[in-house]
Structures are given as C-alpha cells and as structure tokens.
C-alpha cells in the first residue's frame, strides 16, 4: 500500500507541472466520419485549417476572437476526390497545401496549393497513389508528400509507395514538370530491424510511407514507413534516400504490458513478446551542438498491420503454433486471459519456416520514442509509461465506446497517434495524443535523452455516448503547437501562454487549449 501511495503521489505531483485548459472548440456534429482529422495553423490571420472527410473539404476556422471559434468558410476542391488526407501551411511560401487522394485510391492523387492570403487556388501537381501527408520545409522552398500507395482489398493492385518533392521557388510563375521529383524506396531487402510484410514482395513494393518530418535546416526529411518498422532519411536537395533505419523491436519480457481484454482488469506484466515500434506521426527536433546540427526524430508508436481480404498478416496468439522448445508453457500462455487474445503477425516469428513460431510480435510500441537522426539509434523510449500512468486514472485502454475499460489491451493499447513539440519559457515539450484512450501526454524533452513526464489531459467523457455527441473530444488524430508569440493578437494582449490545437477524428471536433506552465 505504501508503494501505491508513493506512485500515485509521483503521478499527480508531476502532472501539475504542465496543464491544458480548453478555451474553445468547434464541432462538425458528426461521429466516426473523419469530420476533423488533420489541422494546420496560419498565425498571420489566426486561422486553423482542418480536413473534413465527411464533406471532403477543408474547414477554415477563425480563432481571432478567442474564446470563440468561428467557421469562416470551407475550401472545396471541386474535383472528383476520394478524400483530403492532409493539410499544411507555409508562412514563408505564402501557401496552403492539400493532399487529396483519387476516388480510386490506387490511382495517382494530387496536391493542390492555395494562396494563403486569398485562399484562391494557385496550382497543383499529380503525385503518387494515396497522398497521406504533406509538409513544407521550414524555409518554404519545398513541399514534400508521402504517397502511401495502399493496395486494393483483394491485393490485385498494389501501387508503389513514394515521396514527391515539389520545388516552390518562384511558384507564382506557374507549375512545371521540372519542379517535381518522385522518390521510391528501392533497396535489396528490408534493413536490419525492419521487415517486408507480404511474402514475395520487394521492399519497394511493400513500403507504405505514412508521415514526413523535416529537419530545422530544411536539408533532410524523415519518412515513417509504418508497417515496415522503418524510418527513411531523404536528402531533399538531391532527392535521394540516404539511409534506412530499421527501428528494431522492444522486448516486453524486460518491460511490461497488458495483453488481454478478457480479464477486465489492469494486468501490466512482463510477457515473452517483441514489440514493433511502427510510428505514425513523427516530428524532428534539430539542435546545434558545437556548430553541428543534430536531428532527433520523435515518434508516436501507434502500430499497424497489413490486413486485407487478399492478404492479412494479422492473427491472435492463440491461433499460432508455438515452438514447444521455446514455449514449454504454450497452453497456459495462449489462454485468453494471458497472451491468447494479443494480435500478432504470421509474417515474422517462424525463422526456419517449419510452422512453429519461436517468437511472438505485437503491433506498436505503445510509447513515444526518440531516434538519433544521424545513427538511427533509439536513444529514448517511454516504455510502458503511458499504460502505467493512464491505469492510475481509472480509465485504462478504453475504446471509443463508453464502458470499454481494458478493451484495447489485446490490440495496441492506448495507441499513441499524434505528436507535436514546442518551446515554453526556455524548455522544450512534447505533446503525445492517444488515439484510442483519448487524452494527451506531456513530456519535458529539454534534455532530449531523458524526457520527464509533466502532465496528462483527457477531454473526453468516458461515460458519454459519442454517437449522441455527449462523449466529449474523442480520438486525437493531430496536434498543433502555437507558440505564445504566434497566438492571435487579441488573445496575446491578455495572455502570454501558448496554445495547442487538437483535431479529433471520431468526435469530429477541434479543440483549442491554453497551455499553463
């Protein structure tokens, strides 16, 4: 009991270091329609741009008069589109970018650029299949697009994943085919610590870029190949992949996780399981040390499987034939209240292809981690910190539904999905959004090697009904940090606090938080 009191004291005393207060919000009054997913901010005009896949538009929200958020207009591309997957803003270039998939996801999508001041369409480019993320370089000279290239459901068509690099120098002259380059992930096999998922596929065919983050000096881009458990490093000027960093696998026997949703309790303990990091959102923090620039890639380790009618790697541990020489207690392990319910893969674990699995792999690191952008080494991982801290709140591994305690333990836990960083009073902080659990974890990353937990906020009502709009803000898909000197002028005149924007996929809502230090 004394130990529990000490731990609870540490949790709540640490949580007071940084807190979020919801100032304002906007709702599309939609449920599970992608009404609010990816957000970007224009500080010059105090506008938030949020993708809305319910209407296949981008909602333009004004926060000039906080605490009020007002929808001004919606940007409608007025072309045959399958959905707007990403939006980005560049003050330097004066542009707003929209990444738009084709109605047939396996066909090439497009990126449209709008004049940020007038919101008039300026130009556009055809890119690869399923453009899932668009980002500008900090200097505004380039836009980069991660084209995921997902297969169709029967896996008869599988476009190559790619990255498009668009030169924006003198963009007002007009588009030119000479200004766009496409990069593919051509290599012989997966890098060590990474994987090829579909049997018989090349790495180039198997790679599905999920997210792009750009270094502070605008020279390098880091691309999350989520399913492959790989980060690719791109030289932007030359348009080439210079490194592939396999992220390796965390050993849950040396840490701990809750692997079952059938015991209806918090049961965080060591298990003989390897965890694939598989980051979704990534962000780069660049630091100058002794005149040299060092990149650190922060990763929200959500996890993802390839699961289609034509091919699926996903099974539960109870469906594997475990090697008895490695798992003499297989029958006990495979009970539903132990490891039996945990989702695993048939693509790895049977090294000699004899039908007996010597290793068990789970999806996602259930954590946030920091990778050295030069060496590819993971220099920090939060381990099971997210699980332990959310367990003490009484709301643990919930799904989007009310009363779904422990429901996601057999999947990917709280599912860290979104991440952003910002500086406050001389210190750097990371904000990590938990897609399923809901909520935002906050860490002081000033020391980069040893982040410190400083707070947790959750804006959902765990007993409410999301379908009836009583569940609060559920499922953060993206987060945007607004420094104090970039907040709306009227707000800044009264407050010196930065803001955080959260776009919530399932509840179709956008929230504006004041960050109090």
Tens of pLDDT along 220-270?
999 999 999 999 999 999 999 999 999 999 999 999 999 999 998 999 999
* Amino acid 433: pLDDT: 98
Tens of pLDDT along 98-127?
999 999 999 999 999 999 999 999 999 999
Locate 434 and state its tokens.
Answer: 């938990």
- Residue 243 contacts residue 232 (beta carbons within 8 Å): yes
The single residue listed with the structure tokens 């960083």 is 421
Find, among 516, 437, 508, 515, the residue nearest to 39 by Cα.
Answer: 508
- How much is the pTM? 0.95
* Amino acid 517: pLDDT: 86
Strands 108-115 and 378-381: unpaired
* Amino acid 190: pLDDT: 98
Low-confidence residues of the chain: pLDDT under 70: 1-16, 79-80
* Amino acid 80: pLDDT: 63
H/E stretch holding 331 reads: helix 330-333
Contact residues for 350 (Cβ-Cβ < 8 A; gap 6+):
356, 357, 358
Whole-angstrom distance, CA of residue 231 vs CA of residue 246: 7
What are the structural domains, with CATH classification, of the chain? 77-246 (2.130.10.10)
Locate 130 and state its tokens.
Answer: 């399923």
| Angstrom distances, CA of residue 488 to CA of 262, 345, 428, 485 | 48, 48, 21, 9
* Amino acid 12: pLDDT: 45
- Residue 39 contacts residue 87 (beta carbons within 8 Å): yes
Strands, sheet with 476-482, edge to edge from the N-terminal-most edge strand = 19-27, 509-516, 499-504, 476-482
Tens of pLDDT along 313-342?
999 999 999 999 999 999 999 999 999 999
Locate 78 and state its tokens.
Answer: 């007025």
């Amino acid at each position: 009991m004394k130990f529990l009191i000490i731990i609870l004291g540490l949790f709540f005393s640490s949580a007071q270091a940084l807190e979020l207060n919801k100032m304002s919000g906007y709702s599309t009054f939609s449920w599970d329609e992608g009404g609010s997913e990816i957000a970007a901010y224009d500080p010059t005009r105090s506008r938030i741009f949020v993708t809305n896949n319910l209407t296949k538009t981008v909602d333009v929200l004004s926060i000039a008069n906080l605490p009020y958020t007002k929808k001004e207009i919606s940007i409608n591309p007025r072309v045959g589109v399958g959905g707007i997957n990403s939006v980005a803003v560049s003050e330097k270039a004066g542009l707003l970018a929209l990444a738009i998939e084709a109605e047939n996801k396996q066909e090439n999508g497009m990126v449209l650029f709008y004049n940020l001041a007038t919101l008039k369409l300026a130009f556009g480019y055809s890119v690869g299949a399923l453009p899932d993320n668009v980002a500008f370089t900090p200097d505004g000279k380039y836009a980069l697009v991660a084209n995921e290239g997902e297969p169709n459901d029967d896996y008869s068509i599988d476009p190559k994943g790619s990255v498009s690099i668009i030169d924006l120098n003198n963009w007002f002259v007009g588009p030119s085919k000479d200004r766009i380059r496409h990069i593919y992930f051509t290599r012989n096999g997966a890098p060590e610590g990474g994987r090829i998922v579909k049997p018989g596929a090349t790495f180039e065919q198997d790679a599905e870029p999920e997210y792009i983050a750009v270094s502070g000096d605008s020279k390098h881009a880091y691309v999350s190949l989520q399913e492959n458990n790989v980060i690719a490093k791109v030289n932007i000027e030359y348009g080439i992949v210079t490194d592939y960093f396999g992220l390796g696998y965390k050993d849950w026997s040396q840490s701990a996780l809750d692997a079952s949703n059938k015991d209806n309790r918090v049961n965080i303990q060591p298990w003989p399981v390897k965890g694939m990091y598989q980051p979704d959102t990534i962000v780069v923090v660049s630091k100058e040390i002794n005149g040299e620039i060092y990149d650190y890639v922060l990763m929200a380790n959500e996890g993802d499987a390839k699961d289609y009618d034509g091919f699926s790697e996903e099974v539960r541990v109870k469906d594997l034939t475990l090697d008895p020489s490695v798992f003499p207690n297989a029958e006990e392990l495979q009970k539903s209240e132990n490891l039996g319910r945990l989702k695993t893969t048939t693509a790895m674990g049977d090294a000699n292809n004899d039908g007996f699995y010597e290793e068990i792999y789970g999806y996602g690191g259930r954590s946030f981690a920091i990778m050295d952008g030069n060496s590819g080494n993971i220099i920090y991982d939060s381990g099971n910190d997210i699980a332990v801290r959310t367990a003490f709140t009484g709301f643990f591994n919930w799904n989007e539904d009310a009363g779904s305690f422990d429901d996601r333990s057999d999947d990917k836990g709280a599912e860290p999905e979104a991440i952003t960083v910002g500086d406050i009073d001389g210190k750097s902080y990371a904000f990590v959004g938990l897609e399923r659990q809901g909520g935002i974890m906050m860490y002081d990353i000033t020391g980069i090697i040893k982040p410190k937990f400083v707070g947790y906020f959750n804006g959902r009502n765990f007993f409410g009904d999301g379908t009836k709009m009583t569940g609060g803000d559920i499922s953060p898909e993206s987060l945007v940090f607004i420094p104090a000197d970039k907040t709306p002028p009227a707000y800044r005149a009264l407050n010196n606090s930065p803001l955080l924007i959260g776009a919530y996929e399932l509840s179709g809502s956008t929230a504006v938080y004041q960050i109090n230090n």
